[in-house]
Amino acid sequence: MTIGPVDATTVPRFGGPATFARLPRIDEVGAADVAIVGVPFDSGVSYRPGARFGPGHVRASSKLLRPYNPAVGVAPFDSLQVCDAGDLACNPFDIAAAIAEIESGADALTGSGARLLTIGGDHTIALPLLRSAARRHGPVAVVHFDAHLDTWDTYFGASHTHGTPFRRASEEGLIDREASMHIGIRGPLYGEGDLAADSGLGFTAVTSPEIEIDGIAAAVERMRARIGDRPVYVSVDIDVLDPAHAPGTGTPEAGGMTSRELLHMLRAFGEANLVGADIVEVAPAYDHAEITGIAAAHVAYELLSAMAARTFPR
């Protein structure tokens, strides 16, 4: 018997605990199948700061989520024991120290077999999370939803920023170079060789213009063919969405996916071996009417539903 969210027929949705989807805290459950954890860290950003406030904003935006997902026919909170593990405290002044703290925190939470769904924070946090995931599963297939490649080498001489995590992960052998990919890439690059350098790190890309021309179904098929049944880690930078659908982010790019398109693609992971995921770069200071927070909360809900669909298929 799982402990689910607070019953909305007895406690109004604008009340109740300030956890994700009003789920129980980690200390209120015996063991968790999935732990939702926040990482309020944004010291690796290169443009607009504020993603350190993302975890609280996404939690606040998740209050309207309901227990049954009709799009995939699963009730994720019935199938899995999901809990909110609070936030990982990490050093805001020392990026290397913060990375080490996030990695050890992720190890502690997954030590009993729980999967992590992490709410950031900026994309720097993907590196320590991938280190922890690879320690448990070996090199993982990374499916990275983003406007940007995030495989740059350095920025102002810094090797750990929100634009470098997947280069470092590839160099450290954390990713499966035959099965990793970016989805939603768009906008100007630094040079003509950027995509070739990215390919050399083990990534292929489905760009936003390709999604526009070929459609979501074609993108899903390319994704399925690429990852197969390998352990897969999904990393969602909310700026994969067009600024019309996610204005509250640090490095917005025009021409992105709609929230409907992104949620549709995430449902395909119900057939995948999804071992962990993160949602990053929600910066509430630039959000209005909770547009970005609500989108991020639904991204998390679809990822939880995908984990439940694979564990308990219909």
Question: What are the tens digits of pLDDT across the range 124-180?
Answer: 999 999 999 999 999 999 999 999 999 999 999 999 999 999 999 999 999 999 999
* Per-residue pLDDT tens digits for 57-78: 999 999 999 999 999 999 999 9
Residue type at 299? V
Q: Scan for tokens 């630094």, then name that residue.
A: 190
| pLDDT the model gives residue 312 | 57
Compute, in degrees rounded to 10, the torsion defined by CA atoms 58, 83, 147, 295: -40
Domain-embedded: residue 51: yes
Domain-embedded: residue 15: no
Residues 272, 276, 277, CA angle at the centre, nearest 5°? Answer: 100
Given pLDDT bands bounded at 50, 70 and 90, which one contains residue 17? very high
Q: Distances in Å between the alpha carbon of 286 and those of 55, 92, 106, 219, 250? A: 15, 21, 28, 30, 8
CA 42 – CA 19 distance, rounded (Å): 21
Say yes or no to pLDDT of 16 above 80.
yes
3-state secondary structure labels for all residues of 267-282: HHHHHCEEEEEEEECC
Q: Distances in Å between the alpha carbon of 203 and those of 136, 182, 227, 238, 314? A: 22, 7, 11, 19, 33
| pLDDT the model gives residue 100 | 98
| pLDDT the model gives residue 313 | 57
* Per-residue pLDDT tens digits for 74-105: 999 999 999 999 999 999 999 999 999 999 99
Count of domains in the chain?
A: 1
State what percent of residues in the chain have pLDDT above 90: 97
Q: What's the CATH number where 165 sits?
A: 3.40.800.10
**What is the rounded average pLDDT for all residues in the chain?**
97
Domain-embedded: residue 224: yes
Mean pLDDT along residues 42-55 = 98
Domain-embedded: residue 7: no
Give long-range contacts, CB 8 A cutoff, 24+ apart: 194-197.
194/149, 195/149, 197/151
Going by C-alpha positions, the residue among 313, 309, 295, 282 that lies closest to residue 57 is 282
Mean pLDDT along residues 195-215 = 97
The domain of 63 spans 20-311
Domain-embedded: residue 183: yes
Which of the pair, 254 or 1, is modelled with greater confidence? Answer: 254
| pLDDT the model gives residue 30 | 86
Given pLDDT bands bounded at 50, 70 and 90, which one contains residue 314? very low
Backbone angles phi, psi at 21, to 5 degrees: 55, 20
Domain-embedded: residue 48: yes
Domain-embedded: residue 12: no
Domain-embedded: residue 9: no
